[in-house]
Structure 1
Amino acid sequence: MDSVLAATGSGVHDILSPGHELIGGLSLLTDGQWFWYSDLAHYVERHHVTLDERFIQHARSRNWAPPQLTRAELVGIEEAVFDNEGA
C-alpha cells in the first residue's frame, strides 16, 4: 500500500480527456524515495502515459509493493518536502 504524504479536498479532473471528467481526489503518495500524485495510475492505465524508467526499475525491485511507512518516517519526509512552504 502506498503511503499518503498529503491529501487535499480538491478534485482532480482528467486533463487529457475531452470532457475533463472528475477522476478522484488529489493526494501526494510516496514510498519513501519516490513521490507521485494519486491520479498517476489513471493516466498510465487510460492514456498510456510513460513512466520514468528509474521509477519502474525501483518499483520492480520492490516487487511492485511499496513499504508501509511509519508515522515517524512520514513526518520526517513531510518536514523535508514542505519545510520551505512558509518561506
Structure 2
Amino acid sequence: MPDVLSESGAIIGGLHLLTDGHWLWYSDLAHYVRRYHVEVHPAFIEHARGNNWSAPQISDERLEAMVTLLIGDEKEPD
C-alpha cells in the first residue's frame, strides 16, 4: 500500500482492517499518526487507553456483525 500523503508514494506495507470489537481502523493508521501527526478522534484514544492500548480478541459472531454493519449483508438474494 502506498503512502497516500507522500509525494513519492512510497510503499508502507499491506493494508488490513483492524478492530477491537468497538472501533474499526486500518493498519496504516499508526504510520500516518507518527509521520504526519494525523489527528485521531479523542473517543478512539480514550477507548484504546481504557483497554491498555491493546485490542482484545473478539468472537467470530461480533466480527461478522461489524463487517455486516460496515459493508452490508453479502448473502445472495432469494
TM range (shorter): 0.7 to 0.9
Unaligned ranges ≥5, structure 2:
none
Matches within 5 A, 1:1-87: 12-83=1-72
Give the TM-score, by structure 2 length. 0.81
What RMSD, in angstroms, separates the aligned Cα atoms of the two structures? 1.8
Bigger strand share = 1
Q: Which has the higher contact order (CA 8 A, sep 6+)?
A: 1
- In structure 2, what residue type is equivalent to 1:62? N
User: Take 1:31 and 1:54, find their aligned partners in 2: how far apart are those partners?
Assistant: 14
Larger Rg: 2
Q: Give aligned pairs, total.
A: 75
User: Take 1:43 and 1:70, find their aligned partners in 2: how far apart are those partners?
Assistant: 29
User: Take 2:64 and 2:73, find their aligned partners in 1: how far apart are those partners?
Assistant: 15
